[in-house]
Amino acid sequence: MSLVEVKDILALRQTSRRLCAMSKLRWVWFDAMKRHVVQKGLPIPAASVADLKALDAAHLEARAVHAARFHENWNSPHPTARKAIEFSALTYLDDQLPDDAPCAVSHLSFLPGRNGKYLITVVGRVLTCWEVPLGETEAYRVAEWIAAKRIEQVIVNDEPGSEIVLAYVSAHATTQGVVECRALSFDKFHGKFTCRMELRAHRQATTPLHLLHRDYLVFGDPMHVCYLSSPSMVKPLGKPSLAELPDNSILAVKPVNRYLLIVRQRSLEVTPAPSWRGVRPPYPALVTASSNIEMEVPASSAVVVVRHVFAASPDELPDWPAEPVTILSRYSDDGFETLHQYDLLPNPKAREKEDAKEDDLVLDRIPCIFPSDCTRILSVAPSSCDLRVGPSGKGFWTETRNVVVRHAKNPARCLVGFEVTNAKDEPEDGRKAGPPTARVELSKDVLYARRCNIHEILWKKYIICSTALEDTVGRIAVGDVTGKVEVLDLA
């Protein structure tokens, strides 16, 4: 019975009492979880691979059904939200009137590792954490933080077990040209945020924030790293000469096991991570032990896809993953908008060095092979923006399309989904199999659509101003300029 699909197991349950009893056995759902979820690389909701042996039949069934429904809905001809929760994120302060308060939801983020239960919203200078339980119809305000000035940027910690969950930047209350960067921890039991780090500096040196990972924060251009744990310090990071090149701003910074991958408009750079397995590399390694390649045409936006579906401990991770690391960069050239896919394959010579247990961080052999050309080019709409991707490889961007509602065609802002998977090509004629590659598959239809008027299109000021994705349980959050937040359940 475990050989058939998850939906077929549920269908067989309705045919006879004997099959109904058999479909509730633990070994059936344990095998179904292994075959239809783990082997396909799908994330397990509210559990890890190590937790499967401790779960009973009911919990295994609930997780397998949830993961299969989300994956099937995402790749269906017409993806639809199973449930939608709407609430207002507005908070009127004592010194504000309802007409004077800013209403736009400038930022949305799900806290990683919490299965889409906690959502961060930013409206003006108010940062709020909401609890949005699965299966409920309401959202509950859990904690709130009020900054002195409007919050300009927020990033969340991509490591679920870290004490510090987010960092934000806002202007200083009195000094012009100076910004404050604060790192906050979240106490869900007492319902409050606590400031763990505060940094004040000139705007040019502190903004933008690029990455918050475990116990360090990467910011600025040229880049600096701030260690949040003791001993706390700030050090330069990467090659400062790349920041001096024209049209070479930082688009994305992604930790890839032992290294950091820095995607700029015109270059790709690999440098040792500021912390790996609890050890900080020496100061010279953060600046000199890096390698880069320059591109011809500057990109406008980019995301890095490192598929970490089943999180392992740092001691079990290699220096560089065996699967390809994919970069999706958007380019504008002669009026054409394209999305380029670059695959960074592991360097076999660097793996030999890793097996030899050489701990020096001089990159005489870089951990990956820089691509000489893009793997694939996709045409995108000029209105596309807000490119997002999750750890499982699912992501989306926002663009304007014409949608048909009640036999009438109207413009709408739509979320266009995609998924980055590993392409396993079988060798032909007895030839040796080639290196692994990644494949970008677009959804057959939009994930979400909201009508917009012609003024939004002309002025490019759309009602949807922020989005967020949680690809473990299948949740999407959409915030608009009126302060309304909509949480969509796709599973």
Mean pLDDT (the chain) is: 87
3-state secondary structure 341-365: EEEEEECHHHHHHHHCCCCCCCCCC
Tokens of 470: 């949680």
Q: Please, which residues have CB within 8 angstroms of residue 410's CB and are 6 or more apart in sequence? A: 402, 403, 404, 451
Residue-level pLDDT at 358: 46
- Distance (Å, rounded) from C-alpha 238 to C-alpha 405? 51
Per residue in 64-112, pLDDT tens? 999 999 999 999 999 999 999 999 998 876 556 455 557 889 999 999 9
d(CA 376, CA 338): 10
> Among 2-6, 159-163, 264-268, 386-390, where is mean pLDDT lowest?
2-6
pTM of the model: 0.90
pLDDT of residue 263: 94
The CA distance from 108 to 479, in Å, is 7
Q: How far apart are CA 323 and CA 261, in angstroms?
A: 15
Give the Cα separation of 64 and 69 in Å (integer). Answer: 8
Q: What's the DSSP call for residue 220?
A: T
Find out whether 120 and 156 touch, Cβ atoms under 8 Å.
yes
What are the backbone dihedrals phi and psi of residue 83, each rounded to the nearest 5 degrees, phi first? -155, 150
The C-alpha R_g of the chain, in whole angstroms, comes to 23
3-state secondary structure of 146: strand
pLDDT digits (tens, 9 = 90+) for 344-402: 988 887 765 555 444 555 455 788 888 888 889 999 999 999 999 998 899 999 999 99
Q: Which of 48, 56, 62, 152 is nearest to 107 (CA)?
A: 152
State in Å, rounded, how far the first CA of the chain is from the last one: 23
Please check whether residue 217 is in contact with residue 167, taking contact to mean a CB–CB distance below 8 angstroms.
yes
% of residues, the chain, pLDDT over 90: 51
376-379 and 368-369 strand pairing: unpaired
- Percent of the chain at pLDDT exceeding 70: 90
Q: Provide the residue count of the chain.
A: 491
C-alpha 148/C-alpha 168 separation (Å) is 12
What is each CA distance from 276 to 213, 282, 358, in whole angstroms? 11, 12, 15
Residue range 122-147, pLDDT digits in tens = 998 999 999 999 888 899 999 999 99
- Mean pLDDT over 400-406 rounds to 86
Q: Is the peptide bond before 231 cis (omega within 30 degrees of 0)?
A: yes
Bridge partners, 488 (sequence order): 84, 476
DSSP H or E segment with residue 60? helix 57-74
Instruction: Please write the tens of the pLDDT for every residue from 306-333.
Output: 987 565 566 677 888 888 899 999 998 8
Please give the distance of CA 430 from its chain centroid, rounded to a whole number. Answer: 39
Asked whether the beta carbons of 5 and 28 are under 8 A apart, the reply is no
**Residue 320: what residue type?**
W
- Token match 């003791």: residue? 230
Q: What is the mean pLDDT of residues 404-425?
A: 86
| Alpha helices (runs of H) in 101-179, residue ranges in sequence order | none
